[in-house]
Structure 1
């Protein structure tokens, strides 16, 4: 919810706290950047203090940040609170995935990660819709109050978690990036990079685009996002069922997901002031499945490739690549879009308002959006080719 449901509040936040483009973008980017930068540290620390303790600390930090975000008097304070939430989120994801990896074995482990992916999909699916509803019913501050309430329930629930900690062997590297020399592990790490390019960018900023191009309210934009977010909820369990019942390989599912991301991104070029929004349904469904099918599957495969006592560190490396790529591409998306809009609108104030999603220059926003989508498609094709080459190298090495 913190990832997918925050950007939809940006136009209303701008109304209350100002539309300074840098500060406004860092409401989203600050979370992503701090998340990425702290995953490695939490990965190493979790192997030492225990995965349950890491998970609890992350929830506590995120809870405090949610309350601070709801009560913020300025964009600066909001940006700081969001950065703290990112640090907490990194601990939650690192500790949680390491707990699952160590607490289950065999088929139960696969099911656990499938459910993990489904719950991630649930959060992404309801994030924009629930946030849009909260903004319509209460205010944008209600979004962060909702974060705090969910986290409070999670904090109480941690009493049932097992305490798992491993002693670190002397002489082992603090952070071992040697795993990235393994073609299979590196290919798996590039899958969420593709998801960041093709899905997370649009998950974050498509509601803003719908406001700037189609003049949709936050609540309506959240509903329009459902065709894109619901498949993320279905995808992880569907992938697990395909592997179990049809004998499909993990890589075949990953290739199908990558193709869906590319085709869905091309279809998003239909978002213009003159084309009905109904034409976006199929591309949005493709993007949702492109992101959702590998969720959980990638984590399970990657953590299975390392010793149990390095689960936290491996999760830190994987999530560093995952969230780091999300931070980079989401920040790059917003910066490129703002630059392109600024080039087509002479008035700097009007350009800032348009980039923030305020309706008034739909053609300029749509033109900039189209060029950003073309850039995304090119990056997706390059990343897909790299994954295919790494997979071929792994197969050749096995032979």
Structure 2
């Protein structure tokens, strides 16, 4: 069961980090409209977030296997449509559908794992789940860079479709599980659970501190250092290894200790990205990238398992939907804010509208302007991550106080 789910789950992070590295190439062929390009990445995030809640409710009713299979079918169709897109409008529409499908894959997959396993086995299953997500997030820029070098940007989306084929074919072998009780259309009472709420905020910090950089750092390397897609993919590897090994390490430690260490690493890694500047040796960025990788990867093996274990069994599908709504919703907001803010800052420095758009899309030639805008965005993100850390810590202390009393 686990391999079938993981094949499909691997497409989710590829849809986030693997797509961004293709943006300069997509812009070169289909146009560099900032809004349309942002929706290639963020459209996926938005529909993933919104439909995570929808699929969470639906999966408790129609069954987790059915939800998973519908999701894989949508991913296959949307990926093929993306690979064949003749313009940005069609590509954006396909990415919206892909987000809907991946939301179903994530919700159905996590609900199947949570219901099929218990105790230590459940912990191990979710550690594998976190590792696969981390593997996809970390290696997608490198994989996508290679696919672009071999085929062009369309090869990135074709690869998503290829992965979906065996997952769909084998999904009939999954157990037919569903909740024994009907749930309300929207059960946000789960967020009154202080531990569940604190856990849902951890991915919010990861969205601002890691996912934005995983999405747009390849564009920054192109804009500041004029690196090719292949070179950028290789340079992203220092963020990969920590995300690969982090979930297994984090699953063995005390949850709150792991969370605190990971969040501190996110702040330090984000501030370390201020070293990216024209003429600066890129080797200085290795340590900040490693910190970012561990900051995101360490809690990945425990967040879903801990959060779903903190709610009643009949609410697991709904809880998974809420968790993914917060996770992907925050990623959509974080990635969108990054792109809008960076584009605005660059536009203030470059009066020529077309040149400003090309610079924001990662075209080389205005390295100093891009780096300056990038630095201000990094400072803002470090502040936002710090605010999220404070909120998580306050919730944890309130939970402990309630338990003691």
Report the TM-score, using the length of structure 1 for normalisation: 0.97
Using the alignment, how far apart are the partners of 1:388 and 1:213 within structure 2?
37
Residue aligned with 2:36, SS: helix
Q: 1:88 aligns with which of 91, 101, 108?
A: 101
2:361 aligned residue:
356
Q: 1:395 aligns with which of 367, 376, 400?
A: 400
> Is residue 179 of structure 2 the alignment partner of residue 166 of structure 1?
yes
Following superposition of structure 1 onto structure 2, how do residues 356-375 of structure 1 map, counting pairs within 5 Å? 356-375=361-380
Q: Which runs of 5 or more residues in structure 2 are unaligned?
A: 1-13
Following superposition of structure 1 onto structure 2, how do residues 7-26 of structure 1 map, counting pairs within 5 Å? 7-26=20-39
Following superposition of structure 1 onto structure 2, how do residues 119-268 of structure 1 map, counting pairs within 5 Å? 119-169=132-182, 172-241=183-252, 243=253, 249-268=254-273
2:92 aligned residue:
79
Using the alignment, how far apart are the partners of 2:362 and 2:392 within structure 1?
35
The answer to whether the Cα contact below 8 Å between 2:250 and 2:301 also exists between their aligned partners in 1 is no
Residue aligned with 2:78, SS: helix
> Is residue 284 of structure 2 the alignment partner of residue 279 of structure 1?
yes
Using the alignment, how far apart are the partners of 2:166 and 2:140 within structure 1?
17
Using the alignment, how far apart are the partners of 1:2 and 1:345 within structure 2?
31
Using the alignment, how far apart are the partners of 1:355 and 1:389 within structure 2?
38
The answer to whether the Cα contact below 8 Å between 2:345 and 2:373 also exists between their aligned partners in 1 is yes
Using the alignment, how far apart are the partners of 1:228 and 1:57 within structure 2?
32
Q: 2:345 aligns with which of 337, 340, 350?
A: 340
Q: Which runs of 5 or more residues in structure 1 are unaligned?
A: 244-248
Using the alignment, how far apart are the partners of 1:361 and 1:61 within structure 2?
40
> Is residue 121 of structure 2 the alignment partner of residue 116 of structure 1?
no
> Is residue 51 of structure 2 the alignment partner of residue 38 of structure 1?
yes
Q: CA deviation at 1:7?
A: 0.6
> Is residue 319 of structure 2 the alignment partner of residue 306 of structure 1?
no
Aligned residues: 391
**Stretches of 4+ moved more than 6 A in 1?**
none
Using the alignment, how far apart are the partners of 2:167 and 2:362 within structure 1?
33
Using the alignment, how far apart are the partners of 1:133 and 1:148 within structure 2?
17
Q: CA RMSD in A?
A: 0.9
> Is residue 72 of structure 2 the alignment partner of residue 59 of structure 1?
yes
